[in-house]
């Protein structure tokens, strides 16, 4: 167990001492948890192989699952990777922000960071604390989500303290993450972009910038047993609550009727829409947001999955999200949490 230093950051420009302590920890090869606009990250100097190895140990993460490197300015990508025209277009449109781009790596990034791959994932976060930490440390910061491997990504101070107190050297907390789902990951193949993980930078938004955009089959489908995914993270089971998690698909009135009926057995928990709580009964509901508000649903999803795990529900139900807009990111996370279990309501 480490003696973790915990700082609550209200204003990263005024709290120089705390921010300098965290930046020094990065330079010294230590582990620092920091907020981003997507989820909290567990960071270390991306040019230091030993520091990167400690990230895998602290999370209990398999060492072949590569890390994203976080930079303070999108123009710095060229120091660490081979930058292409498509990268520049994406960077102009979406950085700083919730987009990660996979590029050919340069030697300065050790193989320990990229799980032995010859590519590296690059992201420039917009969160001011993340930005200031990277700027002050003068290092690229390798950071996966700051959860214990297999748990939902942390989106609140409570989550990071639960998972990382005693494992990281420094924890910076600054409230709940604005987006609540991890960044969109894009693989560039010439002028073509393949979405490996959907996020708040949507397919439609990417299509406004690049002509050829596609979505990897693994985003909505199930990998076959012997299949090698484009992104190693796709093969790991994620976010799964202990109780079986089932996604309900069908006409909204019929689904609500099913939930009300099923609630009578008092052994199920419903990740429902706000407006359904009264009908189902609030003791059995974890409302994730209004039906038409995907942003709120995205912000609440991981928190709801963590809460669901603390109840003694025998089964958890949720709504199958649409595959359009931000819905695709929700769909991707929920379908994996549910191990692809969908119940059709007729």
What is the rounded CA–CA span in Å between residue 341 and residue 31? Answer: 37
Stretch that binds ligand TXA, among 64-72, 131-139, 219-227, 263-271 (CB under 6 A): 64-72
Q: How many CB atoms lie within 10 A of CB 227?
A: 11
Minimum CB–partner distance for residue 55 and Mg ion (Å): 11
The first and second tokens of residue 246, run together, are 């089932």
Place of tokens 């290092």: 139
Minimum CB–partner distance for residue 154 and ligand TXA (Å): 9
- Give the DSSP letter of residue 81: B
If one asks whether residue 38 binds Mg ion (CB under 5 A), the answer comes out as no
Minimum CB–partner distance for residue 79 and Mg ion (Å): 25
Binders of Mg ion in range 71-110 (CB under 5 A): none
- The answer to whether 172 and 178 are in contact (CB under 8 A) is no
Place of tokens 């189902």: 280
Pinpoint the alpha helices (H) of the chain. 16-27, 49-59, 77-80, 85-94, 111-114, 128-137, 157-164, 203-207, 252-263, 277-280, 294-308, 327-337
Minimum CB–partner distance for residue 253 and ligand TXA (Å): 36
If one asks whether residue 36 binds Mg ion (CB under 5 A), the answer comes out as no
Place of tokens 């609630």: 263
Closest residue by Cα to residue 315 from 345, 339, 346, 288: 339
Query: Cis omega before residue 148 (within 30°)?
Result: no
If one asks whether residue 121 binds ligand TXA (CB under 6 A), the answer comes out as yes
- The contact pattern for Mg ion, residues 127-166, with x = CB under 5 A and - = no contact, is ------------------x---------------------
What would you report as the CA-atom Rg of the chain, rounded to the nearest whole angstrom?
20
Minimum CB–partner distance for residue 95 and ligand TXA (Å): 12
- Contact with ligand TXA (CB under 6 A): which of 119, 137, 155, 156? 119
Q: Which is nearer to Mg ion, 119 or 145 (CB)?
A: 145
If one asks whether residue 145 binds ligand TXA (CB under 6 A), the answer comes out as yes
If one asks whether residue 127 binds ligand TXA (CB under 6 A), the answer comes out as no
What is the rounded CA–CA span in Å between residue 342 and residue 24? Answer: 48
- Contact with ligand TXA (CB under 6 A): which of 23, 87, 96, 123? 123
Minimum CB–partner distance for residue 234 and Mg ion (Å): 11
If one asks whether residue 157 binds ligand TXA (CB under 6 A), the answer comes out as no
Q: Which is nearer to Mg ion, 48 or 145 (CB)?
A: 145
Closest residue by Cα to residue 199 from 330, 290, 70: 330
Place of tokens 């895998």: 56
Pinpoint the alpha helices (H) of 148-293. 157-164, 203-207, 252-263, 277-280
Closest CB to ligand TXA: residue number: 233
Minimum CB–partner distance for residue 19 and Mg ion (Å): 25
- Give the DSSP letter of residue 246: E
Stretch that binds ligand TXA, among 5-13, 33-41, 167-175, 216-224 (CB under 6 A): 33-41
If one asks whether residue 133 binds ligand TXA (CB under 6 A), the answer comes out as no
**3-class SS at 344?**
strand
Binders of ligand TXA in range 194-213 (CB under 6 A): 196
Binding site for ligand TXA (CB under 6 A): 36, 38-39, 41, 65-68, 100, 102, 114, 117, 119-121, 123, 143-145, 182-183, 185, 196, 231-233
Binding site for Mg ion (CB under 5 A): 145
């Amino acid at each position: 167990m480490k003696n973790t230093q915990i700082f609550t950051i209200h204003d990263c420009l005024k709290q120089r001492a705390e921010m300098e302590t965290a930046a020094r920890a990065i330079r010294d090869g230590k582990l620092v948890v920091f907020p981003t606009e997507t989820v909290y990250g567990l960071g270390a100097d991306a040019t230091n192989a030993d520091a990167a190895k400690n990230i895998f140990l602290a999370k209990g993460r398999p060492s072949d699952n590569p890390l994203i490197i976080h930079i303070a300015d999108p123009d710095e990508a060229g120091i660490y990777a081979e930058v292409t025209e498509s990268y520049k277009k994406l960077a102009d449109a979406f950085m700083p922000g919730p987009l990660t781009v996979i590029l050919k790596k340069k030697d300065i990034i050790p193989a320990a960071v990229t799980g032995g791959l010859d590519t590296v994932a690059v992201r420039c976060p917009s969160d001011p604390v993340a930005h200031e930490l990277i700027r002050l440390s003068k290092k690229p910061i390798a950071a996966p989500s700051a959860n214990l491997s297999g748990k939902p990504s942390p989106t609140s101070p409570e989550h990071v303290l639960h998972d990382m107190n005693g494992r990281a050297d420094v924890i910076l907390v600054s409230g709940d993450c604005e987006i609540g789902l991890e960044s969109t990951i894009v693989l560039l193949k010439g002028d073509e972009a393949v979405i490996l993980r959907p996020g708040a930078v949507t397919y439609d938004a990417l299509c406004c910038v690049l002509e050829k955009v596609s979505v990897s089959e693994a985003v909505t489908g199930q990998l076959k047993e012997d299949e090698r995914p484009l992104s190693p993270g796709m093969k790991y089971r994620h976010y799964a609550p202990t109780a079986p998690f089932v996604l309900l698909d069908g006409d909204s009135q019929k689904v609500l009727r099913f939930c009300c009926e099923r609630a009578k057995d008092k052994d199920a928990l419903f990740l429902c829409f706000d407006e359904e709580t009264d009908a189902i009964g609030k003791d059995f509901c974890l409302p994730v947001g209004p039906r038409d508000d995907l942003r709120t649903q995205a912000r609440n999803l991981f928190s709801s999955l963590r809460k669901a795990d603390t109840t003694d529900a025998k089964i958890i139900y949720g709504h199958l999200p649409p595959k359009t807009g931000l819905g695709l990111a929700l769909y991707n996370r929920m379908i994996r949490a549910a191990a692809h279990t969908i119940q059709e309501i007729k």
